Amino acid sequence: MNLRYWDDAGNNISLLFKLFDSWDTVLHEYDNAWGNYIAPQVYNQQTQAGYLAIAARDIGWLPQLEFSIERKYAVGSFSKGRCDLALWRKNRGEITEIYIEIESSCYTANINPKRIKGVSDCLEKAQRDVNNIREARGLHRIALVLVRLNKAPLPYNPSALWGRIRAIRKNLDADFCSLHVRKDKYRKMTHKAEGRDCLGIAVFGCIKGQL
């Protein structure tokens, strides 16, 4: 399924379109490479951040995982910390810095737009993390929650799932959403114990600052 995204805040999220389009391709490549061994989507959030870093590099961006930053812990006070993922993009001599904080959650593929407390809590935590990054390190920050969608029957209707994801985005007041859906052939190849019931990953994000 092609990448879809939404934005209500006037951001130029063509940058994010390129990133998540590449991310979708990267996950399909891992699925294809690993065959019936395991689904790459079932790994934890640190691994998922790594897939985003690979996707960024594939489109010519420079990624850095666990990037050193200064984080506010009290009014006017800062301490050293880490950002999950930092990205640099150079275009026409100008460098865009984007700092991303990531949380992850797990739901069934029939995720209910009205029962998303776990997703909401994760997104709020990621937002707190990006809000506390010292502004001198960059104005562009993104809070992400990656939601693994499991217990999905074969075959599954991606269009119906996309409609549900869009409804969830509105309930979360997220600026954008995207969706990676595993191809049926990959799911059929994967042993059930190794993630065959994982349909894919939904992403919800909030942007601080203008891209």
52 part of a folded domain: yes
4 part of a folded domain: no
Report pTM. 0.90
What is the per-residue pLDDT for 205?
Answer: 93
8 part of a folded domain: no
9 part of a folded domain: no
27 part of a folded domain: yes
The count of domains in the chain is: 1
Phi then psi dihedrals of residue 124, to 5 deg:
-65, -40
- Residue 1's pLDDT band (boundaries 50, 70, 90)? very low
140 part of a folded domain: yes
6 part of a folded domain: no
70 part of a folded domain: yes
What is the distance between the alpha carbons of residues 45 and 23, in angstroms, rounded to a whole number? 14
Please state, as a whole number, how many other Cβ atoms lie within 10 Å of the Cβ of residue 157.
Answer: 11
Residue 73 burial by Cβ neighbours in a 10 Å radius (0-12, 13-18, 19+) = exposed
Domain limits for position 131 = 14-207
> Alpha-carbon torsion 159, 47, 117, 206, what sign?
negative
pLDDT tens-digit readout, 53-97: 999 999 999 998 977 776 766 566 767 777 789 998 887 777 888
